């Protein structure tokens, strides 16, 4: 559930900057997106905007997903889990199941190149199962969301 209002300011392009920290909670775990984080909301190709608008009930899910894909995410949440959280938040936000499925399949199929640059962490390829941060907190986040989202 959304813990506070998402406050953003449009930048000169398709991007927006968060004006204050934004928090989203799933059961007892909270994801905090820091003030100053830049998002493009839903990364939908312009040719599809007539079918899937840039903004909609999925805005919050898109911002959280952008953060989870970014280098700023040090929670240990990997790509597969980030995509599940995206789907979960869309469901909580009332996005219809057909659109949810299309958007979820879109990030699963086309999101890999946009997930944080794992080469920085010494990896040679993208691995959905790899925990970025092996801390106790990261493992707790990962185990909790894996159980909560059922995969």
pLDDT mean values, one per 10 residues, the chain (151 residues): 94 90 90 93 84 91 95 82 94 96 93 68 44 58 72 58
| In a domain? residue 3 | no
pTM of the model: 0.80
- Number of domains the chain is built from: 1
Q: Cα–Cα distances in Å, from 47 out to 52, 95, 109, 114?
A: 9, 21, 18, 19
| In a domain? residue 17 | yes
Residue 55 domain boundaries: 8-125
Give me the residue label for tokens 């007539």. Answer: 50
Question: How many Cβ atoms sit within 10 Å of the Cβ of residue 1?
Answer: 10
| In a domain? residue 134 | no
| In a domain? residue 147 | no
Q: Which residues pair with 9 in a beta bridge?
A: 17
Helix (H) or strand (E) holding 10: strand 8-10
């Amino acid at each position: 559930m959304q813990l506070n209002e998402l406050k953003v300011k449009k930048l000169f392009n398709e991007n927006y900057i968060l004006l204050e920290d934004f928090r989203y909670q799933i059961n007892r775990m909270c994801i905090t997106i820091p003030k100053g984080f830049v998002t493009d909301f839903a990364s939908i190709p312009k040719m599809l905007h007539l079918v899937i608008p840039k903004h909609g009930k999925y805005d919050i899910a898109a911002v959280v997903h952008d953060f989870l894909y970014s280098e700023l995410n040090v929670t240990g949440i990997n790509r597969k889990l980030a995509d599940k959280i995206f789907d979960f938040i869309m469901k909580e936000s009332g996005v219809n199941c057909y659109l949810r499925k299309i958007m979820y399949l879109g990030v699963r199929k086309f999101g890999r190149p946009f997930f944080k640059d794992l080469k920085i962490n010494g990896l040679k390829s993208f691995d959905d199962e790899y925990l970025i941060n092996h801390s106790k907190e990261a493992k707790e986040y990962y185990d909790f969301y894996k159980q909560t989202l059922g995969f």
